[in-house]
């Protein structure tokens, strides 16, 4: 059995949190838009045709008769089904809680460049973006990363404890990766305050399970998605 992953092509986006879990878990999946001759038209057509449990937006995953949308919900399922999170109720809910907190920061990172409208151009909301990004850099990056730093018990720790990563660790890795891309100056200033978070970022980058993926063409570079590098939005 192979999962069908439906997401836009060309950006890591929210689909990347799902991809990392599938890849690190060694779980077979098909990247439907990339494999279709119709590309993103195929995604739009597939979404329109779904009457049972329709997704509000990509990414969504199809398997075993299930159609699952919302990144954290997809990961909750994969975590349980494939052992990518602790099996206990407490551990399962804790990892879900962390994932939702990561998702909150991801949404805020996106809104730094689109604070008024996701459907309008950056240039149409640049002044507002500059204001919002300043608050994000000054208040929100320290608050969120300070929280994750406190969750990690040390530089060797995973977020749910124990000796194995969970999907929330993969997601935190990608979030930090995105911040390093989008806010290199700011991260250069503050990263030293979050040694456990930065160590986790290095440990996930070095996971044997992910090396094939990282060196493949499947891992897309940052660009026009959630994490964008605009000179105007970064600063020490």
- Mark the segment that binds its own copies (CB under 8 A) among 4-12, 22-30, 109-117, 190-198: 109-117
Residue 79 or 225 having the CB closest to its own copies: 79
CB 15 within 8 A of CB 60: no
Pairing of strands 60-63, 3-6: antiparallel
What separation in angstroms does the CA of 151 have from each of 118, 157, 158, 200?
Answer: 32, 9, 9, 12
Q: Which of residues 129-148 bind its own copies (CB under 8 A)?
A: 131-132, 135, 139, 144, 147
Interface pick for its own copies out of 33, 109, 151, 226 (rule CB under 8 A) = 151
What is the Cα–Cα distance from 184 to 199, expressed in whole angstroms? 17
Smallest distance from the beta carbon of 153 to its own copies, in angstroms? 10
What is the per-residue burial (b if ≥16 Cβ within 10 Å, else e) of 77-112? bbbeeeebbbeeeebbebbbebbebbbebbebbbbb
Taking the CB of residue 155, how many other CB atoms lie within 10 A of it? 13
Is 88 among the residues that bind its own copies (CB under 8 A)? no
Q: Is 118 helix (H, G, I), strand (E, B) or coil?
A: coil
Token pair, residue 163, equals: 């000796």
Site map for its own copies, 13-52, x if CB under 8 A?
A: ----------------------------------------
Interface pick for its own copies out of 36, 77, 122, 180 (rule CB under 8 A) = 77
Smallest distance from the beta carbon of 117 to its own copies, in angstroms? 4
List residues binding its own copies (CB under 8 A). 53-56, 65-66, 68-70, 72-73, 76-77, 89-90, 93-94, 96-97, 100-101, 104, 107, 111, 115-117, 119-120, 125, 128, 131-132, 135, 139, 144, 147, 150-151
């Amino acid at each position: 059995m192979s999962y069908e992953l439906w997401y836009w092509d060309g950006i890591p986006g929210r689909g990347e949190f799902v991809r990392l879990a599938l890849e690190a878990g060694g779980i077979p999946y098909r990247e439907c838009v990339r494999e279709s001759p119709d590309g993103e038209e195929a995604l739009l057509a597939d979404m329109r045709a779904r009457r049972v449990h329709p997704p509000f937006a990509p990414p969504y995953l199809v398997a075993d008769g299930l159609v699952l949308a919302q990144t954290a919900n997809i990961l909750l399922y994969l975590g349980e089904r494939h052992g990518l999170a602790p099996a206990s109720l407490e551990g399962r809910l804790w990892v879900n809680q962390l994932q939702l907190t990561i998702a909150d920061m991801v949404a805020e990172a996106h809104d730094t460049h689109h604070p008024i409208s996701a459907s309008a151009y950056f240039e149409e909301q640049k002044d507002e973006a500059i204001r919002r990004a300043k608050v994000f850099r000054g208040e929100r990056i320290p608050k969120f990363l300070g929280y994750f730093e406190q969750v990690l018990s040390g530089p060797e720790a995973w977020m749910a404890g124990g000796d194995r990563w969970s999907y929330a660790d993969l997601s935190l890795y990608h979030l930090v990766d995105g911040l390093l891309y989008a806010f290199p100056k700011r991260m250069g200033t503050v990263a030293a305050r979050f040694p456990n978070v930065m160590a986790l970022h290095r440990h996930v980058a070095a996971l044997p399970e992910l090396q094939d993926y990282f060196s493949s063409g499947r891992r897309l570079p940052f660009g026009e998605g959630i994490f964008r590098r605009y000179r105007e939005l970064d600063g020490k």
